[in-house]
Structure 1
Amino acid sequence: MKAAIWMASGRGIALLLCFPLLALLIEAGLSPLDLLAHLWATVLPTYLLNSAGLVCGTVLLCLLLGAPAGWLIARCQIPGRRWLNWALVLPLAMPGYLVAYVYTDLLDYAGWVQQSLRNLFGWQQPGDYYFPPIRSLGGAIGVLSLVLYPYVYLLSRAGFGELAPQLVESARMQGYGHWRRWWHLELPLVRPAIAVGLSLVAMETLADFGTVSYFAVPTLTTAINDVWLGYGELGAAAQISLGLLALVGLTLLMERVSRGRQQRYQRQSLLQPTAALVLRPIVCVLAVGYLLALIVLGFLLPCGVLMYYAWQVWDGEWPAGLWDASFNSLQVAGWAALVASIMALLILFSQRLNLKLAWPRQWAGLGYAMPGTVLAIGILIPLTATDFGLNALLAGLGQPEPGLILTGSLFALIAAYVVRFIAMALGAIESSYGRIPPSLDMASRALGHGANSLLWRVHLPLLRRGILTGALLIFIEAMKELPAALMLRPFNYETLATLVYQYVKAEQLAEGAFPALLIVAVGLLPLLFMNHYLGERKS
């Protein structure tokens, strides 16, 4: 195909991904503002402040947890680095709402921790002592940070590991110590990768519903859900969702500004790995303890509690519908990862052919921060209109009506996952594109290669790591997605996430431990493969 066709395809895909947003804009514009004005005068400012506090707190804590871990693994020689390298990403396999359920069960007033403290110190009444409430904004920030910090860790680890050794050695020869080299050289060079990770954390936090709902923390996502399902006001829900999307746009803008001119310094040719630093014994012990604490709190402890629950209720038979839900989750997540990766590659390749064409990539990633319930609305509006129009057309032609072929099938659910998670593929592939200098494209053109040959022979071999990373991240997130699956799944169609939700909603967390552990187990396989394939250096 010619370059013009590739660029047109990138624009077309980006516009297609914007259809849910366009549907929300139309719905919001056609609806009265009475309910929105009432909410603004009563509870909406509180929801907005909670959302802002949740995002700021989670982003800051993920930065403090993920960036140092990435530097320690990529640049330091510590015992068990190979094991720690892959273990630090294990929390990505844990859905945030599952970790919230587990920690609430452990840390609430009736939980094991407070019961043990009361028995140990003889406390009788709640007023005898103070224990930070887990069902609070701070608790939500802590839980979300434990499962989202791997985004920052993965990208910062890759950035620190790909630093040109010539630059590091030059700084050392000029008398820069470890701390000055890290602050004045390494951190500024890796800042673009860290900014991408933090933007993913911010968008994921803005879109979270399960954790904040369980902790009773009112945010914009819970407001949208309450207005739609409680008041039955689809238009007001769409209007609030536009405010949430404004926060997303601000997040993306801040990420772009923070990267700025630093992007050009990422185009370094890595001929050999940077020499690992040898830490002093006491510092090494503290570093290993810090990394182990992340693994225990983010994965081992929640997973161990779920295994204990599963062992308690095991009666020799698997829960009903478990295997069907497992197959359904694998099917939907696999298709979503494949379709989203192809679309992201086409969008970014069209941008590569015309560097001034930036809007398709920016617009295509907006769906990441749309709450699942709002995304379901945006998906259902155009697909329902298409189904009804197609049925009316065929009926007018005297043909049998096919029924709801889009909204009544997996198409709607897969479409929602693609719109929701394509930002992950865009970020991963764009990061890989940042290490391919434009001069390589010009050299290929000078040798007579067209757009097709440039993509297949030059770009794809260099982008395979970014494509694989994005696809695996989408697969893992699609396995855990709950709100969109609840609203868009076909009749009598369960995924692992919806099956767990049914148990937890009925206060049967122990019975939901088996499907919860399957979500974790299925997410572990691609995570382990990704770390093995993308590992920067061997210990």
Structure 2
Amino acid sequence: MTIIVSPRSSLIQAVHRKVGRLWLFMAGVIALLVATPILALGWEALHGSGDLWPHLLAFVLPTALAQTLTLLFGVGILVIFIGTGAAWLVTAYDFPGRGMLEWALLLPLAVPTYIIAYAYLDILHPIGAFQGVIRAVLGYSSPREFRLPDIRSMTGCIILLGFVLYPYVYITTRAMFLTQAANLVEAARTLGTRRSGIFWRVALPLARPAIAVGVSLALMEALNDIGASEFLGVKTLTVSVYTTWITRSDLPGAAQIALAMLFLVIALIVIERRARRRQRYSLTVQRSRSFAPRKLGRFMGSSALFFGLIPVLIGFVAPASYLAIEAWKRFHVAGLSGQLVSEARNTIIMSAIATAVVLAFGVTVAYAARLRPGWFSAVCYRLSAIGYAAPGTVIAIGILIPVAALDRFIDRSVIEWFGFSTGLLLIGSGAALIYAYTVRFLAISAGGAETGFSRIPISFDQAARSLGRNATGTFRNVHLPLSKTALAAAGLLVFVDCMKELPATLLLRPLNFETLATHLYGEAARGSYEEASIAALAIVLIGTLPVIILARVGRQKS
């Protein structure tokens, strides 16, 4: 049998291969851009002055590392307890208000860590209204006679971060509980397991992988925090990086501490992977039935709702109510200042530009992996996600090194060729900050794009190719319209994360350039809490948008 290939069909196949290679090349360039800050960080740390390490080892790293590990251990225990308990409560039991509680437990995700510290520092102030009411009830008249323990402590930091980061464990664990089949529970009951033992002997062991994933995400957020730790007097590695660079102008020292943080992040990821490497569970989908919650009586149902609402009240309702009251007072007295409007505009513009760049890069990496599956595209996809695991201070220091060198090169070249200075072109224009946002949040858009593309059958690609569409045409006419919902959700998450991001913004923002997050940080550092209440409330309100979407998706899944 003779197969005749026309010159036209051979030309079309060559064009398809060429376009596929172009997407793969662009994915490689993006992966290199993401990996550059990490490589630059290691280079700067290795070429720093040798006398820094004795000072760091003697005065900086022991305290910072001890406080960081203590904070991570305490937050990890607290988020496991709150997140797993809340997930089991709304999954295993049916009571009045359960539907509302399911999505309300997600609300603390809308409150950044530095905002909850900012709010509670004023709420629990010794001369504040809260402690004043307690003293009045107990019959005391002065803070000297009675006052609550100071929130500025390691214990206070662990409690506040735990109550705002537990939703990471709640989301993953509840999803695991919902997929557990009822026949497993019935089998355990027939083998003599009490109803109270179902959680400890069946549900919890099966949910350990999901708990490990949620805890690792919560700990990375705690490690990335700079505002809450500094406000509450906890000197973590992140705070040490910031103070070493900003206060002492010691870039090599900051790079070396940031490298130590990166090793800590890698250790957390390795521990999380090793903790669940032998845990593989599968369910017989054809015969499984969904987990049926047990209906509670009036008293037990009211008690379950009360205890379920405690994390919501502490992690969202109390700080959001405080911010709303203070923002109204500030607006009623002084109105909306022009400075705040300018900062809101800066925040929206920078976040929108970064979101567009991040979405474009994420789509490129994910589509290249679909077009040309193989080791190279897989490596590019993995590299594009490493920025999300690294704290913002690590990314900022890593970006500052090559971008500052490039700024100096451009300035020298322009002076030599044209006779005038460009100054800090990339840092001064905000391009370095956009770069930091891109590296930090590229994993969100790449994951969202990959999720959207995975729902499109490969036969659609083949049909489009048979009709003469090349890889780019197939993407434009097939993949983009069918995955626009997933891309829009990823874009919203990226926008909100860029708007809330504090560590990288503090380090890389241009001179005299403030966002809502940096304005809040500056006012809280000066102790003028009421001045920043409007900015904090705006951040929280915008942060509720992805929480609402997540709650709707969770309800549809359940």
Query: What is the TM-score when the length of structure 1 is the normalising length?
Result: 0.84
User: Aligned-pair distance for 1:251?
Assistant: 1.0
- Are 1:410 and 2:414 an aligned pair? no
Alignment CA distance shift 1:50-1:186 (3 Å): same
1:328 corresponds to 2:342? no
Task: Give CA-to-partner distance per residue, 1:361-403, whole Å, 9 cap, x none.
Answer: 5544443454544433322222233334345445655598766
1:109 aligned partner: 126
Determine the C-alpha separation between the residues in 1 that align with 2:262 and 2:98: 40
**Equivalent AA in structure 1 for residue 435 of structure 2:** A
Distance 1:277 1:373, change over 3 A: closer
* 1:141 CA drift (Å): 0.9
The answer on 1:318 being equivalent to 2:336 is yes
1:514 to 1:398, Cα distance in 2 relative to 1, 3 A: closer
| Closer, same or farther: CA 498–230 of 1 in aligned 2, 3 Å | closer
Deviation, structure 1 residue 250: 0.7
Shift of 1:447: 12
Deviation of 1:262 (Å): 4.6
| Farther-moved stretch of structure 1 (398-407 vs 507-516) | 398-407
Q: Equivalents in 1 of 2:207, 2:269: separation in Å?
A: 18
Change (3 A) 1:174 1:140: closer
The C-alpha deviation readout for 1:70-109, integer Å capped at 9, x for no partner, is 3434554332333223322221221212211221223343
Q: Please say if residues 204 and 369 of structure 1, whose CA atoms lie closer than 8 Å, have aligned partners that are also in contact.
A: no
Give the equivalent residue in structure 2 for 1:95: 112
Determine helix, strand or coil for the equivalent of 1:67: helix
Match for residue 279 of structure 1?
295
Residue 240 (1) aligns with residue 257 (2):
yes
Shift of residue 461, structure 1, vs aligned partner? 9.3
Match of 1:309 in 2: 326
SS, match of residue 318 in structure 1: coil
Give the Cα separation in 2 of the matches to 1:89 and 1:229. Answer: 35
**2:496–2:543 contact (8 Å) kept in structure 1:** yes
**What does 1:16-165 correspond to in 2, within 5 Å?**
16-74=33-91, 76-122=93-139, 131-161=148-178, 163=179
> d(CA) in 2 for partners of 1:263 and 1:342?
35
> Which residue does the alignment assign to 1:172?
186
| 1:505 equivalent in structure 2 | 525
- The residue aligned with 1:340 is 358
Query: Cα deviation per residue 1:40-81 (whole Å; 9 max; x = unaligned)?
Result: 123421210110111121122112212332343455433233
Task: Give the AA of the match of 1:279.
Answer: K
For the 8 Å contact 1:172–1:181, the answer to whether it is kept is no
AA in 2 matched with 1:80: G
**Alpha-carbon deviation of 1:212?**
0.8
Q: AA paired with 1:497?
A: A
- Aligned residue pairs: how many? 531
> Please, which moves more after superposition, 520-529 or 448-457?
448-457
Deviation, 1:217, is: 1.0
Task: Return 374-383 or 57-66, whichever deviates more.
Answer: 374-383
**More divergent stretch after superposition (170-179 vs 50-59):** 170-179
1:392–1:462 distance in 2 versus 1, CA, 3 Å: same
| Contact 2:384 2:443 (C-alpha < 8 Å) held by counterparts | yes
Q: How does 1:115-514 map to 2 (within 5 A)?
A: 115-122=132-139, 131-161=148-178, 163=179, 167-169=181-183, 171-172=185-186, 175=189, 182-183=199-200, 185-260=202-277, 262=279, 265=282, 274-281=290-297, 282-313=299-330, 314-315=332-333, 317-344=335-362, 346-347=364-365, 353-354=373-374, 359-368=379-388, 370-393=390-413, 404-425=424-445, 470-514=490-534
* Cα distance in structure 1, aligned partners of 2:287 and 2:549: 24
Matches of 2:463 and 2:286, distance apart in 1: 25
Report the residue type matching 1:490 in the other structure: P
In structure 2, distance between residues paired with 1:36 and 1:371: 22
The alpha-carbon distance between structure 1 residues 277 and 27, as it changes in their structure 2 partners (threshold 3 A), is same
Q: 1:321 to 1:42 in 2, by over 3 A?
A: closer
Q: Which has the higher mean CA deviation after the structures are superposed, 527-536 or 346-355? A: 346-355
- Separation in structure 1 between the aligned mates of residue 114 and residue 92 of structure 2, nearest angstrom: 33
Q: CA deviation at 1:419?
A: 1.8
SS in 1 for 2:333: coil
Cα separation, 2, equivalents of 1:528 and 1:455? 30
1:410-432: CA deviations, max 9, x gaps?
Answer: 322121122223345567778x5
1:107/1:516 CA distance change after superposition, 3 Å: same
Amino acid at match of 1:328: N
Cα distance change on mapping 1:458 and 1:255 into 2, 3 Å: farther
Q: CA deviation at 1:239?
A: 0.7
Report the TM-score, using the length of structure 2 for normalisation: 0.81
Larger Rg: 2
Structure 1 residue 205 displacement after superposition: 0.9
Cα offset, 1:514, TM superposition: 1.0
Cα shift at 1:139: 0.8
For residue 47 of structure 2, what is the amino acid of its counterpart?
A: L
> Alpha carbons of 1:173 and 1:40: their partners in 2 closer, same or farther (altered >3 Å)?
closer
The answer to whether the Cα contact below 8 Å between 2:254 and 2:397 also exists between their aligned partners in 1 is no
Is the 8 Å Cα contact of residues 33 and 236 (structure 1) preserved in structure 2?
no
**Partners of 1:367 and 1:251 in 2: CA distance:** 15
Distance change in 2, residues 1:149/1:170 (3 Å): closer
